[in-house]
Chain A
Amino acid sequence: MTISTAPIPVTTDTEPTAVPAKRNRFWAWVIIAFTALYFLVPLGATFWWSLRAEADKLGFEAYRRLFDDANFWPSFTESVINAIAAIFLSLLIIVPTAYWVTLRLPKLRPVVEFITLLPFVIPAVVLVFGLIRLYGRPPLLLTATYDSSRVLLVCAYAALSFPYMFRSVDNGLRAMDVRSLTEAAQSLGAGWPTILRRVIFPNLRVALLSGALLTFAIVIGELTIALFMAQQTFGPYMANLTRSKVYEPSAMAIVAFALTWAAMGTIALITRPGKRG
């Protein structure tokens, strides 16, 4: 799995001093120009290809063919459903855990933090190797049918989201006064389910949404685990397309980039300082 970080908003309070500012600005522009070239050329080239599917004229034919492809929508929908299932599973596990660790079991925090980092330590290809060896034969047979493998895939995705989900929820909990809120709710007679549902969850909306969107961005096109579990999801579909078609993959790459951009842009928007809550 690729390590990634949600854009974390930071306030700038370090203004450059006046004297070397001009020279700094020159070099800053040079750096920006060169890196922009590196990042924009592949995107531009891909976009250019995606417009050339029809001979002698530019158009969106490649996109039309992509969306008309018999396997596009089924694999895409399947990945969306997998992603949503993984997000809910992950939320269901991480929110109570982060809450308990913050409020009642601070001693467990290092252990929980360590475990949530495991997806970085165990690369996806190693994880799927282990999952197949563990659940590929009785007594824990889970890879027997397509649907049971799919359950395993969703569980693996939920586990992969732990680092992002835990950090996101943990930051959200730190930003509010969990203890006072809990005590206030308790003194009004609320039980634990009510506290979690009516007090903690609403205050965590932004954190939960960022964690969910980041998970979505990672899971939607995931290739490695789906590939070795023989799942017909979006990642393997895209890999097949890249090998078998000429123009459609360029349209596919642009669509995937737009999807990632939508997820990340939404996170940036909702976590902007001053818009919290």
Chain B
Amino acid sequence: MGVLPFFLFSGMFLIAPAIILAYRSLEGPDGTLTLDNYRALTSDTVVAAYSMSVRISLTTAVLGGVIGFFLAWAVSMGGLPGPFRSGLTTFSGVASNFAGVPLAAAFIFTLGRVGVVTALFELIGVDLYGSGFTIYSYWGLSLIYLFFQIPLMVLVMLPALDGLKRDWREAAENLGATPGQYWRRVALPVLLPSILGTMILLFGNAFGAHATAYALTGGLLPLATLLIGQQISGDVLNNPGLGYAVAMGMVFIMALSIFLYSVLQRRSERWLG
């Protein structure tokens, strides 16, 4: 009986909203069941939004994953003073949650047209905006997303790095392996599922992000989440059914990335558990 409220509540506020979108996405203008809305996903607006979302998510997943991994390595195995690790852990908790409006604002003050760093570049004679850079772009948004992507990678990788057993390194060294060989042949293969899985998690994390991009551009950048937002406020696609299909496509991609993440995470537990 104790679980009944949970199922009821989740049904009302998580599952039913998803189901109604799924149902509407299959409904034609005349109310009959059809796949036309999904066929219409190939329209230029939708493809542009999805491809921008995918590019930004891929970029920040790979960059955030690599940088986050090295950062986690630096504080767990780099021989730095102890406080660095707990400091970075707490900071990562903060930064991974510091998304949305304040984050967008912080980067506008840094790299916006009148941002501090933009001004510093001008001092040394580099005109960032004159040379085509803008924070309201693919690279600009990617740079901003890294602020929460890197910390998320750090938070997931730290425990994984701790799972590397000392015995493995010693065994490798006793057999004459160099540190490079140990990393290439032992540590990285063991860590790979976890690294890949977390990068996929980062991909989903960026893909579903709406608030930061909205606060930055007010919805002007072609992004899947922003497109859905515009579709809520007014039918910008001139086709309500297509809006539902765009939303479902998003759910599909998110579900796929969470699924792959959990499969890879489970696999990595074989060694690191």
Contact = CB atoms under 8 A, between A and B. Distances in A.
Given A39-B91, A129-B231, A2 B205 contact: yes
Interface string A99-126: 1110001001000100101111111111
A129 B247 contact: yes
B158 to A, nearest CB: 6
A16 B183 CA distance: 13
Contacts of B207: 123
Contacts of B111: 42
Contacts of B229: 125, 224, 227-228
Contacts of B12: 155
A110 B134 CA distance: 46
B3 A119 contact: no
A47 B100 CA distance: 18
Contact of B21 (A5, A8, A129, A159): A129
Contacts of A2: 96-97, 99-100, 148, 205, 208-209, 211
B105 A126 contact: no
Interface in A227-276: 227-228, 235, 238-239, 242-243, 249-250, 252-253, 256-257, 260-261, 263-265, 267-268
If over half of A's interface residues share one DSSP class (helix, strand or loop), that class is named, otherwise mixed; here it is: helix
Interface in B207-221: 207-211, 214-215, 218
A258 B56 CA distance: 28
Interface in B192-242: 201, 204-205, 207-211, 214-215, 218, 225, 228-229, 231-233
Contact of B13 (A4, A131, A222, A263): A131
Interface stretch (A28-36, A77-85, A176-184, A201-209): A28-36
B78 A155 contact: no
A44 B116 CA distance: 9
Interface string A1-41: 11111111111111111001110110111011001001101
Contact of B10 (A118, A227, A264): A118
A224 B214 contact: yes
A250 B91 contact: no
Contact of A131 (B17, B104, B211): B17
Interface in B33-63: none
A50 to B, nearest CB: 8
Nearest to A19: B179
Contacts of A127: 14, 17-18
Contact of A217 (B3, B97, B225): B97
Contacts of B89: 7-9, 268
B20 A35 contact: no
A147 B38 CA distance: 36
B155 interface: yes
Nearest to A250: B109
B233 to A, nearest CB: 7
A48 interface: yes
A124 B224 CA distance: 12
Give the residue among A21, A112, A155, A223 with the most B Cβ atoms within 10 A.
Answer: A223
B94 A31 contact: no
B93 interface: yes
A53 interface: no
A121 B251 contact: yes
Given A7-B90, A29-B80, A125-B225, A39 B105 contact: no
Interface in B51-91: 67, 70-71, 73-80, 84-86, 89-91
A264 B94 contact: yes
B3 A120 contact: no
Given A7-B90, A35-B71, A264-B97, A41 B21 contact: no
B158 A45 contact: no
Given A38-B146, A123-B250, A28 B80 contact: yes
A51 to B, nearest CB: 12
Given A32-B71, A45-B115, A158 B210 contact: no
B77 A16 contact: yes
A32 to B, nearest CB: 6
B144 to A, nearest CB: 9
21 contacts: A5-B156, A7-B89, A13-B166, A29-B78, A31-B74, A31-B78, A92-B5, A96-B2, A115-B6, A122-B17, A123-B250, A126-B18, A126-B21, A127-B18, A133-B20, A133-B24, A224-B214, A252-B102, A253-B106, A260-B98, A268-B86
Q: 5 closest A-B pairs (Cβ-Cβ)?
A: A28-B78, A130-B17, A123-B208, A45-B116, A256-B102
